[in-house]
Amino acid sequence: MRYAGIDVGSRTVKLAVLEDGRLVSSRTSATSHNPLGIARDLLKGVEYDRAVATGYGRHLIKGHLDCPVVTEITAFVRGSRFFSTECRAVLDIGGQDTKAISLDENGNLKKFEMNDRCAAGTGRFLEVMATALGFTLEEFAAAALTAQKPEKINSMCTVFAESEVVSLINQGATRNDVALGIHKAIASRSAGLLRRVATDGKIFFAGGVALNPCMRVLLEKETHRHVIVPPDPQIVGAVGAALVASDPL
Amino acid sequence: MADYTEMWKSLGIDVENHNALLAGLGQAYTDIFLSQKNRPEGMKYFDFVVSEVHGLRIKEIMDAKAQGKKVIGSYCVFVPEELVLAVDGVAVGLCAGAELGFEAAEELLPRNTCSLIKSMFGFKLGKLCPYVESCDVIVGENTCDGKKKAYEIFRPLVKDLYVMDLPQTKSDAGRLMLKEEYRKFIAKLEQETGKKITVQSLKKAIETVNAKRKAMIRLAALRAADPAPISGLDALLINQVFFHDDPARFTDSVNKLCDELETRVKEHKGVMPKGTTRIIVSGCPMAVPNWKLPMLIETSNAVIVGEESCVGERGTRWLTEIKGNTVEELLDAITDRYFNVDCAVFTPNPSRVNHVKEMAKNLHADGVLHYSLQFCQPYIIESGPVEKELENSHIPTLRLETDYSQEDAGQLKTRIEAFNERLKKK
Ligand code: SF4
Ligand code: SF4
């Protein structure tokens, strides 16, 4: 049997297909203004017996593809266990929100916290700051990794932080130091969110921002805990949804 | 519905804005309440009350005024309805639950003020609420800092604002203070109405209010059944109507509904299938028409089986013991009753979380959803210890902070669904 999981996030749509408990294919695509169309495109030519949707657009998909839904929280819990059986906490920094989740020893959802309404500390925040510094996302992380000493960023509001960045550069700060300061601000905020759900155990780092190598290093420093990043952190939610699809009915 | 335009105009209501409000309310009511399945027949009465909430009920109040009765409005469950009834007054609850007139309110208040307070201003400034406009006296109470400072700004906006002080601790001194405040309130009521509170009038008033609360206690207990005989939305509505309907008629209607629910329980009939996830909502009051959170919960495969709120058990669970043969002794009994109220403005406030635990047990709840209005310090700050204590007692708890806007509905829904997924795992 083949099971599909579709994760409709605010920035990307992800698809994962499982067969006999193995991940056989995965695809991602930018969400655009037409998430339903993107999901349909991703599913073109893909064979599966059952599908489950997750992500903020899950209910939209449910209405059109006639499949059950599960929240991102549960999807990340299941997905993280697929890649690592030893993690006890999951951090997902996505395009528009950040989630911290704790698991019990059997991998069941224990507690979760989410950031509030605004995009503070999310992938979107990083994008805006990278652009303000004239970096691509890859350059941005690399620059932060080579920085000497971080510049302190005081605001986590995307709009205020952007003007802070501009004025720091105008005062002569280096782009690299500012880049590191921004990464640190997000790492410490995420660590705070994580501490609210669990204070120890290995952390599984998922979502688009986990692709950023500097974030992982800083998170380990902030939390003094081991941080596991899967090979493709973006598809964890989709894999989790596919696992839910594979549950006996 | 009859045409009440003239009545509203005479009250000084902004008829145009008010029509928009009623239209919105009617639509929301149809979408949220009338679309529910397996509703008890007894809800028809409450549907009628809502459809006439600014019509027939206001007309009754106006008729009472024409007969010389005084209308006393209040914003908090600490203002004893018994005392108002004992001078033959009409008591109306004014807590407002909609994001209306907020721009006007924000000219007078900081933006970071809880929605309840902003709404209280918004309804007044927008000339939207016939209850507010019909009041001869509005009673403010010095509970949280937000409210007590807001009343200072509110005073010039209304005809007669009477502010009552409240204690902050459950101490002997606190109790004494509450009693003195109630004594002053009696003096105010007597002066306003020209009537004296007598042993007889006070006893009768206590009986009336007790009967009303008893009916609510009966309703609350019936919700322990699985399947739940009534939805949380409907039960909340009844708790909201509690504050402005005629007390005797309300009591009668709730008891009739309870008769029906008893039959339902016997026949194992419910609003949702047996085994549906059962949630208790605990925290800030939910004034009409603030139905967002309950609606999100009950459209996420869960049923609310209890409200630990002032619009809920915190407002109804204690009765006043009718003991004593003097007004003084009866006033003692009333003070004792109200002194139980475990609002988060008290410090410390352990009885509240104990009660949530008790409710979770008695109502066979799977989890507790703690609701705070954004910027409400007493409840938000207390939510941390409450969550900890409940989780330590193996009662899964989710804390949510929101306001009256709809912009966070998607996020809230994700959190609520995830919480339900957590509860189902067990
Ligand atoms: S929460 Fe406190 S202040 Fe608000 S109505 Fe209840 S008792 Fe009054
Ligand atoms: S909701 Fe909180 S802040 Fe608002 S009036 Fe009630 S106690 Fe005060």
What integer is the mean pLDDT of A27-53? 91
Residue B426's pLDDT is 55
Please report which ligand is nearest the Cα atom of B401. 2
> Out of A71, A97, A108, whose CB is closest to B418?
A71
In this predicted structure, which of A15-19, A154-158, A235-239, B323-327 has the lowest mean pLDDT? Answer: A154-158
What's the distance, CA A150 to chain centroid?
A: 24
Q: Is B79 in the pocket of ligand 1 (CB under 6 A)?
A: no
Check CB contact under 8 Å for B414 and A110: no
B417 touches chain A (CB under 8 A): yes
Q: Measure B144 CA to ligand 2 centroid, in angstroms.
A: 6
Peptide bond into B285 cis (omega under 30): no
Please report which ligand is nearest the Cα atom of B120. 2
Residue B425's pLDDT is 67
Half-sphere exposure of B164 (CA within 13 A, CB side): 29
What integer is the mean pLDDT of B20-28? 92
| Residues 42-71 in A contacting B (C-alpha not used; CB under 8 Å) | 56, 70-71
User: Which residues from A are below 8 Å from B401, CB to CB?
Assistant: 116
What integer is the mean pLDDT of A176-204? 94
What's the distance, CA B303 to chain centroid?
A: 19
Residue B221 has pLDDT above 90, yes or no: yes
> Out of A72, A108, A111, whose CB is closest to B425?
A108
B107 touches chain A (CB under 8 A): no
Q: Which of B310, B314, B296 is nearest to B398 (CA)?
A: B296
Quote the DSSP letter at residue B218: H
Place A117 in a pLDDT band, splitting at 50, 70 and 90: low
The structure tokens 């003084």 sit at B328
Residue B2 has pLDDT above 70, yes or no: yes
Ligand 1, atom nearest to B75 Cα: 5
Residue A100's pLDDT is 96
What integer is the mean pLDDT of B10-35? 94
ipTM over 0.90: no
Q: Measure A214 CA to ligand 1 centroid, in angstroms.
A: 48
Tens-place pLDDT, residues B170-186? 999 999 999 999 999 99
Residue nearest to atom 2 of ligand 2 (CA): B376
Check CB contact under 8 Å for A56 and B414: yes
Tens-place pLDDT, residues B262-286? 999 999 999 999 999 999 999 999 9
Tens-place pLDDT, residues B363-416? 999 999 999 999 999 999 999 999 999 999 999 999 999 999 999 998 999 999
Residue A106 has pLDDT above 70, yes or no: yes
Q: Measure Cα distances from B230 to B30, B40, B223, B236, B242 in Å.
A: 17, 7, 7, 10, 17
A72 touches chain B (CB under 8 A): yes
**Mean pLDDT score of chain B, rounded to an integer?**
96
Above pLDDT 90, what percent of chain B? 96
Residue nearest to atom 4 of ligand 1 (CA): B76
Q: ∠B150-B307-B91 over CA atoms, to 5°?
A: 50
User: Which residues from B are below 8 Å from A73, CB to CB?
Assistant: 414-415, 418, 421-422
User: Which residues from A are below 8 Å from B407, CB to CB?
Assistant: 117
